[in-house]
């Protein structure tokens, strides 16, 4: 498979991911934590895959440098839903914008996707997954901490 074929596949995958992400941001405050948690985990998994595939196609030696370390030191996770929604919205980019970035500046597109994946990882605990457990002869909700910084 040629690199242009691989870029074409990555481009389609990015479009799907960003469509899901922007759709989530439009209704995030209306959804319950379980739904948000499920969607964020799916998007994060898709981003993880795309970042790995994308990285293998970019040969820039500066790809993984200080900007990743700086991002980690500047950014801390949260368990506050409002703060998490705000952080997620800071990374909102339309499908058209991300496709334009992909076409013109692949390195910046890669960095954006990597950062978005990290943001989702660090705020996902603000949307705990609720499970039912059997205790005292009845079902009770059990909140599980999914990810914590």
Under the phi-then-psi rule, with left for phi > 0, alpha for psi from -120 to 50, and beta for the rest, what region is 130? Answer: beta
> In Å, what is the CA distance from 49 to each residue of 99, 121, 132?
18, 14, 31
User: What are phi and psi for residue 131, nearest 5 degrees?
Assistant: -120, 155
Q: What is the pLDDT of residue 39?
A: 92
For the chain, which residues score pLDDT lower than 70? Answer: 1, 59-79, 130-135, 137-149
pLDDT of residue 4: 79
Structure tokens at 101: 């970035």
Question: How wide is the angle at C-alpha 145 spanned by C-alphas 142 and 149, nearest 5°?
Answer: 165
């Amino acid at each position: 498979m040629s690199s242009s074929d691989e870029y074409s596949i990555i481009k389609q995958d990015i479009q799907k991911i960003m469509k899901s992400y922007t759709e989530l941001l439009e209704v995030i405050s209306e959804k319950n934590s379980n739904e948000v948690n499920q969607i964020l985990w799916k998007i994060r998994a898709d981003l993880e895959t795309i970042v790995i595939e994308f990285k293998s196609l970019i040969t820039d030696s500066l790809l993984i440098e200080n900007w990743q370390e700086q991002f980690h030191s500047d950014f801390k996770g949260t368990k506050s839903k409002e703060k998490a929604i705000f952080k997620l919205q800071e990374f909102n980019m339309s499908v058209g914008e991300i496709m334009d970035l992909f076409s013109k500046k692949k390195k910046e597109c890669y960095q954006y996707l990597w950062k978005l994946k990290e943001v989702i990882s660090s705020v996902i605990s603000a949307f705990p997954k609720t499970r039912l457990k059997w205790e005292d002869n009845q079902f009770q909700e059990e909140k599980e901490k999914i990810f914590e910084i």
